[in-house]
Amino acid sequence: MNIKTRFAPSSTGCLHIGSVRTALYSWLFAQHYNGSFILRIEDTDIKRSNNQYIDNIIKTLKWLGIFWDEGPYLQSDRLTIYKNKINELLDSGHAYRCYCSIDRLKKLRLKQILHGYKPNYDRKCRDKKRLILNNQDYVVRFKNPVTDQVIFHDQIRGKIIFNNSELDDLVIQRRNGMPTYNFCVVIDDLDMNITHVIRGEDHINNTPRQINILKALNAYIPNYAHVSMVINPDKSNFSKRKNACDVLEYKEKGFLKEAILNYLLRLGWSYQNQEIFDINEIKKIFSIRNISKSPSEFNLKKLLWFNSYYLNKLPIDCMFINQLKKYLIKLNIQYNQDINIIKVIELMRSRCSTLQELAVKSRFFFDDIINIDAKLMKKYFFKQYNVILQFIYDTLYSLKFWNAESIIYSLKSIAMEFSILLKNIFMSLRIAITGSDQSPNISVIMEILGKERTLCRMKKLLKIAKDMFD
Ligand code: GLU
C-alpha cells in the first residue's frame, strides 16, 4: 500500500503547538514508509478564515522542514466537487433537504434539553421523499443510519464503538450553500487517497459520522489515529494565557527548529529512554504504536532544555551565524566584522538557552558603549585600585602578543607584585569590559575583543574610578 497522510489545519488561527505536533507525526509516518504527505487548508468557514493564517501555516511548516509532497490544497477551490457529491447523495437517497426553520430547531433543542434529552434533530424532513420547496431556505442533512454500530480500530486507542442511535442527521450543506467540515473532510480524504488520517483526538466524535458518509459513497475507509491533546501543566487546555501557542512566536524568541521538532516529537511519543533524536533517525524508527494515549503536558523548561542542547551542539556554520545576526540586529546591535563571531559563540553559548539570550549576553562584544553601573563600582573598587589599574593598563598596553595566555601571565605577575588577589583584578577588568560582574573567562574575552578595544574600555574605567575617588 502506498501510504498517504495529510495535515488539514483550518485557517482560522495561527498554527498551534498541538497542531504542529500532529503535522509532525503525520509527516513522519509518511516519511517512514516512503509515502506522501499532503497539506490541505480547511478554509470553508468564510467568516473566521483569513489568508494571514494560511501564510502562518505555510511559514511554520517550512521553517520546521515539514515539507509536503502535494498541496497546499484549499477547500475553497473545491466547492464544485463537494456540491456534486452532495447531489450524488441526494439522488441516491443518502441525504435530504431539511426545511425546518431556525426557530423550530431552536425550540426543539430547548424542549429536548428541558426534558433531559441530548439535543438531536428529530428527523422531521427525513422521510418526506425528495421534498423540494421553492424559495425556501434549507440545509442538506446526511441520512445517518439509525440502527447498528460504527466500529473502527484507532491506531493509537484501539477499538472504538459508537451506536448509530447516538448520531444525528448531520448537516452537510449549510443554508448559505456552503458544505460543512465533516463533509468536505470525507470527500477530500477520499479524493486524495488518504490511507491514514492522523489528527487530534478532538475529532474522535466526528469519525463515526465520516465513516458513515464514506460507507454511503461505497468508499474505502482509511485508518484513523487520534493523537492526544497538549495541555498546560495544571491540566487545563493549552492556552495562550499561559504559554505562547503560535509556533512562530518561539522562533521569534530564539528557539531553534531542531529543538522544537525534538521537543514536539517527545511530547507524546517515546522510543526506549532516548531523548535526543536526529530527524533522519526518527524517520527510520517512527511508528504510531509509540504515540501515547494520555494528554501531554507542555513544559517550557523542558523545551528550553532541548533548545540549550541544540544551541550547544549545532555546528557553528553560516546558518547558525546568520540566525544569530538576525537577533543582534533586532536588538539594534551593530554586528562588527573585526570581532570573531565564531569565538564569541564558542565562549558564550553554554551560558544560554536561546539565540535571543545569546545575542543579549554577547552584546558587549559588539557594542562599545558599556555602561558601568555605579553600584558595581562601589562594591568592587577602592581608592588604592587607581594605581593598580593604571599599572594594569600600562602593562597591557605594552603587551606584544595579544592572547589569553600572555594576558593571564601579565595579570598574575601584577597580582603578585601588588599582593592582591587575581580574582579582584579579573573583576575590575570584567566590569570595565562587559559592564557586568558576571562573564566567562575575562582573558579569553579580552583576546576576542582585541587590544585596542580592551584598552579603550579600560581607559573609560580609569576615568570613572579617578572621578569617584578625587
Ligand atoms: N481542520 C481540522 C482542525 O484544524 C482538522 C480536520 C482533520 O484533520 O480531519 O482541527
Output the CA 180–ligand 1 centroid distance in Å: 12
Which among 6, 7, 10 is the best mutation to test ligand 1's pocket, defined by most ligand atoms within 8 Å of the CB? 10
At 376, the pLDDT band (50, 70, 90 cuts) reads: confident
Output the CA 199–ligand 1 centroid distance in Å: 7
**Separation between Cα atoms, residue 166 and residue 208, nearest integer Å:** 10
Residues 120 and 155 in one domain: yes
Residues 260 and 345 in one domain: no
For the record, the C-alpha cell of 134 comes out as: 421553492
**Separation between Cα atoms, residue 227 and residue 176, nearest integer Å:** 33
- CA-closest residue to ligand 1 atom 4: 9
* Atom number of ligand 1 nearest to Cα 6: 8
- CA-closest residue to ligand 1 atom 6: 8
Output the CA 42–ligand 1 centroid distance in Å: 7
Residues 43 and 159 in one domain: no
Residues 251 and 323 in one domain: no
State mean pLDDT over 20-45: 96
Q: Is residue 159 part of a domain?
A: yes
Residues 338 and 392 in one domain: no
Residue 170 has pLDDT above 90, yes or no: yes
110-122 pLDDT, tens digit per residue, is 999 999 998 999 9
Within 8 A by CB and 6+ apart from 52, the residues are none
**Separation between Cα atoms, residue 263 and residue 275, nearest integer Å:** 9
Would you list the DSSP string of 249-276? HHHHTT--HHHHHHHHHHSSB--TT---
Peptide bond into 9 cis (omega under 30): no
Output the CA 307–ligand 1 centroid distance in Å: 29
**Which letter does DSSP use for residue 197 in this model?**
E
Q: Where in the sequence is the domain holding 425, given as residue range(s)?
A: 374-469
Within 8 A by CB and 6+ apart from 433, the residues are 364, 370, 439, 442, 445, 446, 449, 454, 457, 458
Nearest to 194 by CA among 3, 356, 418: 3
At 136, the pLDDT band (50, 70, 90 cuts) reads: confident
Residues 238 and 354 in one domain: no
Nearest to 226 by CA among 36, 24, 18, 22: 22
More confident position, 470 or 207 = 207
* Conformational region of residue 128, where left means phi above 0, alpha means psi within -120 to 50, and beta covers everything else: beta
Residue 28's domain is classified under what CATH number? 3.40.50.620
Output the CA 9–ligand 1 centroid distance in Å: 5
Domain closes at, from 303, 328, 348: 303
Q: Is residue 444 part of a domain?
A: yes
Residue 124 has pLDDT above 90, yes or no: yes
| Confidence (pLDDT) at 1 | 79
Within 8 A by CB and 6+ apart from 185, the residues are 8, 42, 206, 210
At 129, the pLDDT band (50, 70, 90 cuts) reads: low
Output the CA 184–ligand 1 centroid distance in Å: 11
Report whether 66 contacts 39 (CB < 8 A).
no
Q: Is residue 207 part of a domain?
A: yes
C-alpha atoms less than 13 angstroms from C-alpha of 59 in its C-beta half-sphere: 17
Residue 455's domain is classified under what CATH number? 1.10.10.350
- Cα→Cα distances 193→77, 158, 222, 433, Å: 18, 23, 9, 63
Residues 100 and 199 in one domain: yes
Residue 276 has pLDDT above 60, yes or no: yes
- CA-closest residue to ligand 1 atom 3: 9
Domain closes at, from 211, 227, 243: 227
Residues 36 and 131 in one domain: no
Residues 137 and 190 in one domain: yes
State mean pLDDT over 82-91: 96
The structural domain count of the chain equals 4
**Separation between Cα atoms, residue 323 and residue 173, nearest integer Å:** 47
Output the CA 209–ligand 1 centroid distance in Å: 14
Q: What is the mean pLDDT of the chain?
A: 93
* Atom number of ligand 1 nearest to Cα 42: 1
Residues 104 and 158 in one domain: yes
Residues 83 and 219 in one domain: yes
Q: Is residue 310 part of a domain?
A: no
Output the CA 8–ligand 1 centroid distance in Å: 5
- CA-closest residue to ligand 1 atom 10: 9
- CA-closest residue to ligand 1 atom 7: 8
* Conformational region of residue 228, where left means phi above 0, alpha means psi within -120 to 50, and beta covers everything else: beta
Domain closes at, from 169, 193, 227: 227
| Confidence (pLDDT) at 240 | 54
183-232 pLDDT, tens digit per residue, is 999 999 999 999 999 999 999 999 999 999 999 999 999 999 999 999 88
Output the CA 252–ligand 1 centroid distance in Å: 26
DSSP, collapsed to helix, strand or coil, labels residue 357 as helix
**Separation between Cα atoms, residue 95 and residue 93, nearest integer Å:** 5
Tell me which residues have their CB closer than 6 angstroms to ligand 1: 8-10, 42, 185, 199-200, 203
Which among 5, 42, 238 is the best mutation to test ligand 1's pocket, defined by most ligand atoms within 8 Å of the CB? 42
- pTM above threshold 0.85: yes
Q: Is residue 308 part of a domain?
A: no
CB atoms within 10 A of CB 349: 22
Residues 86 and 176 in one domain: yes
